[in-house]
């Protein structure tokens, strides 16, 4: 199987290839547009943001995703891929329109904000001149597809018979290309035979690539409500797994256990599985936290809130990791928190990692960045280094100090906090690092180091739950 940074050979089979538009060119829409052009489809990416469209059109990716810039350039050159802000051109072009706009958390409320979907669907519908299929891909509360069909019926010319379908995505940032070209499964819902056939044709390229590579991709065709629910169900389940292992980490800390051994031991049971059992500073990013809250809110609206009360606890457990970690740093430097919280004035913290996970520049809901801010509120002198996330972090948290190299970050530090498992941090050498810091103290928020090895080099080591 190829990896995420490796462009696949485009399958030679030239069966029916519907023309596809991706409406909204954020992480999701842009990655899909590029990858579907790579699969041999004629694709247009549409966004209202001119700067973004100009960037894509000139071959520049406005976010960090390894391998994707090369694929963008290759497919622009092939002529199969283009980007535009011209909604009429998009409406005239595509057989299938995938809606990929953001559905962020509403300000001050747990539910999802659907205003971008409303705007995108309304605008597109008004310009449609031919029968086509509009397929939701954005993560939404269950019931949204019917509302989108109502919007289409209200704004598109009635005689066109435009239909709405749904097909959730499961792409992980830093593995996005792989997840689109070689997905773990394809899920979609259609309301007619015509739409079902079109969705089969849309996904044929993925199945052909799988056949060439001797893999199988399961296809689940289902109803609209289920297709909408699949995505939030998957993300709520993954969040639950992480919060569960973090709860076990708390128990390990008070009993002298080691949560990394515990996770390995239970993960060997195939019913449990070993993925998403890394205990640490908690989950973040643009999806897991918001999807958890949106699902809880929607279940409440639909009268089954009680069954989802536990997800509120999963969320809180996750948020508590942040104050827990600040406290762990305070204890590590011999300043256990008093009634007014920790006082870390005069403590120089080398802070490694700002993004919500490695191999991305995304800092949305980043636990690492929130903990850095918590340490700053405790008056520590926090110097942050991150391989890709510095610009975004600096905009979001200007009160912290930022440096462009690891060497600058660790110089004369009283404590090193290694928070995001970037390769550059996981491979740190305890002896070499020890010569650069003022005090050999390390908080391993990644749970990636061998504690004995660091202790042998004179470090006071603290992991999470070990
Ligand atoms: C997630 C889903 O995985 C993906 O399927 C969906 O389409 C979008 O949301 P993403 O947000 O890119 O993808 O991040 P993911 O890799 O799932 O990680 C989420 C968070 O969980 C990160 O903060 C990560 O550090 C944390 N995490 C992950 C853990 O704390 N422990 C783990 O074992 C795994």
pTM above 0.85, yes or no: yes
Q: How far is the CA of 363 from the centre of ligand 1 (A)?
A: 13
**Can you give the CATH number for the domain in which 39 is found?**
3.40.50.720
Closest Cα to atom 15 of ligand 1: 172
Closest Cα to atom 6 of ligand 1: 170
Does residue 5 have a pLDDT over 50?
no
267 and 209 in one domain?
no
Domain count for the chain: 2
Question: What average pLDDT does this structure show over 99-118?
Answer: 94
**394, part of any domain:** yes
80 and 53 in one domain?
yes
**Closest ligand 1 atom to Cα of 366:** 23
- Segments of 68-205 assigned E as strands: 81-84, 96-99, 133-136, 163-166, 186-189
Question: What average pLDDT does this structure show over 314-341?
Answer: 96
Model confidence band, residue 80 (pLDDT cutoffs 50, 70, 90): very high
Model confidence band, residue 15 (pLDDT cutoffs 50, 70, 90): low
310 and 215 in one domain?
no
The boundaries of the domain holding residue 405 are 237-462
| pLDDT, tens only, 190-215 | 999 999 999 999 999 999 999 999 99
Q: Which two tokens stand for residue 50?
A: 């001119």
**Token pair 């089954």 in the structure block, residue:** 304
**Closest ligand 1 atom to Cα of 287:** 9
**Closest ligand 1 atom to Cα of 278:** 33
Question: What average pLDDT does this structure show over 359-366?
Answer: 97
376 and 313 in one domain?
yes
High-pLDDT (> 90) share of the chain, %: 95
350 and 283 in one domain?
yes
- Catalytic residue annotation: 287
Looking at 166, 194, 221, the residue that finishes a domain is 221
Closest Cα to atom 5 of ligand 1: 170
Is residue 417 helix, strand or coil?
strand
Q: Which two tokens stand for residue 466?
A: 């070990």
64 and 24 in one domain?
yes
| pLDDT, tens only, 329-345 | 999 999 999 998 999 99
Q: How far is the CA of 292 from the centre of ligand 1 (A)?
A: 12
**326, part of any domain:** yes
72 and 211 in one domain?
yes
Tell me the DSSP string of 118-142.
HHHHHHHHHH--S--EEEE-S---T
Model confidence band, residue 10 (pLDDT cutoffs 50, 70, 90): very low
Q: Are 349 and 417 in contact (CB under 8 A)?
A: yes
| pLDDT, tens only, 124-156 | 999 999 999 999 999 999 999 999 999 999 999
| pLDDT, tens only, 428-466 | 999 999 999 999 999 999 999 999 999 999 999 999 999
Q: How far is the CA of 285 from the centre of ligand 1 (A)?
A: 7
352 and 258 in one domain?
yes
Within 6 Å (CB) of ligand 1, which residues are found? 169-173, 235, 238, 242, 276-278, 280, 283-285, 287-288, 356-357
Question: Residue 423, class by beta-carbon neighbours within 10 Å (0-12 exposed, 13-18 middle, 19+ buried)?
Answer: exposed
Model confidence band, residue 16 (pLDDT cutoffs 50, 70, 90): confident
Question: Residue 368, class by beta-carbon neighbours within 10 Å (0-12 exposed, 13-18 middle, 19+ buried)?
Answer: buried
Closest Cα to atom 27 of ligand 1: 283
High-pLDDT (> 70) share of the chain, %: 97
Looking at 194, 221, 248, the residue that finishes a domain is 221
Most ligand 1 atoms within 8 A of CB, residue of 274, 277, 357, 368 to mutate: 357
152 and 277 in one domain?
no
Question: What average pLDDT does this structure show over 3-16?
Answer: 49
Averaged pLDDT score across all residues of the chain: 95
């Amino acid at each position: 199987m190829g990896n995420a940074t490796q462009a696949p050979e485009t399958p030679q089979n030239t069966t029916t290839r519907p023309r596809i538009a991706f409406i909204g060119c954020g992480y999701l829409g842009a990655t899909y547009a590029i990858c579907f052009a790579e699969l041999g489809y004629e694709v247009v990416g549409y966004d209202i943001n001119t700067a973004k469209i100009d960037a894509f059109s000139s071959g520049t990716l406005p976010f960090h995703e390894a391998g994707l810039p090369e694929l963008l350039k290759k497919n622009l050159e092939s002529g199969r891929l283009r980007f535009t802000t011209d909604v009429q051109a998009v409406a005239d072009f595509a057989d299938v329109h995938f809606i990929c706009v953001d559905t962020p958390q509403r300000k001050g409320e747990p539910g999802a904000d659907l205003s971008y979907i409303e705007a995108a669907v309304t605008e597109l519908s008004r310009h449609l001149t031919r029968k086509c299929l509009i397929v939701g891909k954005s993560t939404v509360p269950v019931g949204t597809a019917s509302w989108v069909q109502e919007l289409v019926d209200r704004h598109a010319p009635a005689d066109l018979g435009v239909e709405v379908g749904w097909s959730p995505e499961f792409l992980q940032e830093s593995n996005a290309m792989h997840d689109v070209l070689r997905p773990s499964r394809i899920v979609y819902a259609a309301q007619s035979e015509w739409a079902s056939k079109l969705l089969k044709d849309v996904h044929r390229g993925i199945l052909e690539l799988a056949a060439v590579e001797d893999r199988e991709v399961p296809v689940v065709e289902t109803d609209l409500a289920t297709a909408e629910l699949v995505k939030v169900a998957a993300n709520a389940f993954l969040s639950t797994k992480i919060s569960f292992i973090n709860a076990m980490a708390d128990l390990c800390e008070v009993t002298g256990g080691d949560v990394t051994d515990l996770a390995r031991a239970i993960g060997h049971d195939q019913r449990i599985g070993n993925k998403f059992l890394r205990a640490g500073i908690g989950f973040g990013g643009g999806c897991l936290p918001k999807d958890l809250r949106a699902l809880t809110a929607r279940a409440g609206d639909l009268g089954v809130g009680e069954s989802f009360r536990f997800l509120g606890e999963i969320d809180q457990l996750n948020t508590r990791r942040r104050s827990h970690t600040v406290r762990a740093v305070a204890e590590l430097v011999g300043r256990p928190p008093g009634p007014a919280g920790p006082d870390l004035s005069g403590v120089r913290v080398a802070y490694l990692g700002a993004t919500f996970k490695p191999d991305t520049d995304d800092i949305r809901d980043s636990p690492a960045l929130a903990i850095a801010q918590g340490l700053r509120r405790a008056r520590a002198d926090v110097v942050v280094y991150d391989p890709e996330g510095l610009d975004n972090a600096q905009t979001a948290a200007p009160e912290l100090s930022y440096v462009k190299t690891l060497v600058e970050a660790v110089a004369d530090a009283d404590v090193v906090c290694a928070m995001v498992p970037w390769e550059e941090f996981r491979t740190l050498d305890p002896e070499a690092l020890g010569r650069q810091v003022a005090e050999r103290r390390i908080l391993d928020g990644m749970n990636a180091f061998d504690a004995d090895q660091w202790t042998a080099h004179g470090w006071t080591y603290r992991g999470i739950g070990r």
